[in-house]
Amino acid sequence: MSGPKDFQSLLLALQTYWADRGCALMQGYDLEVGAGTMNPATFLRVLGPEPWNVAYVEPSRRPADGRFGENPNRLHQHHQYQVILKPSPKDVQEQYLGSLRAIGITSEDHDLRFVEDDWESPTLGAWGLGWEVWCDGMEVTQFTYFQQAGGFECRPVAAELTYGLERIAMYLQGVDDIYDLVFCTYPDGTRLTYRDVFWQNEREQSEYSFHASDPARLLLLFDEYEKECRRLVEKKLPLPAYDYCLKCSHAFNLLDARGAISVTERQGYILRVRRLAHDCAKLYLATRVQMKFPSLKDRALAEKELARYAGLLKPEDAQPPRAEQR
């Protein structure tokens, strides 16, 4: 197989490929997120009519998936390669297959398949339709046409490509244990492995998520983050508010991993995060409307779109969320 030889070459190959197709190369978000979708560069930017083409690596934390560095396939923190193409181009499947070719996965050598998969995030109030893309039976990418985010229709529709980097790298390098992945090679020929880079983190984070976290404090933090998010929504600051929504989500994930939330309560917490996400999304859209969708070049279209979202600026809608909405 003539693919990238190590983990970071894989990232570089994807970065180069998507940069060549006009994507802005961004960075993973500097807060804990469970997936690249939660990065505001996806969740907020898929809203409204403004075009947005972007690609970035997202370190994604899933506390419940931690395995103390002992499981060859599961990680507390894995890396997603996230691409957003908005509006979704007509040839998005071909562009995507081109990216696989760029990392050495070709249809001549592999069984590539688009298998139905409906994506939904209950905490984000987001859903879309698409596929999991299979390479020889292995899911390598989640391919989604975003239909809704934060409870709002996505117009135009954005295509989201989420590559599971560790999995792809394991396949390309032919290793069965994640920790045996070669991350890069030093000038003296020493191979830096995934174990060298992440193993201690996996162990400690798992220890923290499953044993050392303090559920009482996390519950308190969840409540505080929620309050802060609401306060910032009232201050009409959607981006800072969304940061606290993300913090709520992460606190919830930690509580969930610790088994501190009963099945009955679970739904309630998910709903609380979803309401925050909805309020942030709504406020973000409203601020873009106020700025008259500045990155939309077609001003006639912008006027039409502003009319569509006019309702968002009505005084009753701009009211801060009230306690009874909870």
Contacting residues toward other proteins, per CB under 8 A: 1, 49, 71-73, 87-90, 93, 107-116, 118, 128-129, 131, 135-138, 145, 147, 155-157, 171, 176, 262-264
Residue 159 CB, nearest approach to other proteins (Å): 8
- Go through 9-19 and write b for each residue having 16 or more CB atoms within 10 A of its CB, e for each that does not: bbbebbbebbe
Within 13 Å, how many C-alpha atoms sit on residue 225's CB side? 22
42, 26, 27, 38: which is closest to 250 by C-alpha? 38
Residue 236 CB, nearest approach to other proteins (Å): 29
Joined together, the tokens standing for residue 315 give 């005084």
C-alpha–C-alpha distance, residues 237 and 239, integer Å: 6
Helix (H) or strand (E) holding 167: helix 165-173
**With respect to other proteins, which residue has the nearer C-beta, 195 or 231?**
195
Beta strand pairing status for 52-61 and 191-193? unpaired
**With respect to other proteins, which residue has the nearer C-beta, 85 or 229?**
85
Residue 2 CB, nearest approach to other proteins (Å): 12
82 strand-pairing partners:
56, 162
Peptide bond into 40 cis (omega under 30): no
**With respect to other proteins, which residue has the nearer C-beta, 93 or 185?**
93
Residue 289 CB, nearest approach to other proteins (Å): 18
**With respect to other proteins, which residue has the nearer C-beta, 267 or 325?**
267
Would you call 137 helix, strand, or coil by DSSP? coil
Residue 61 CB, nearest approach to other proteins (Å): 21
Residue 206 CB, nearest approach to other proteins (Å): 15
Would you call 226 helix, strand, or coil by DSSP? helix
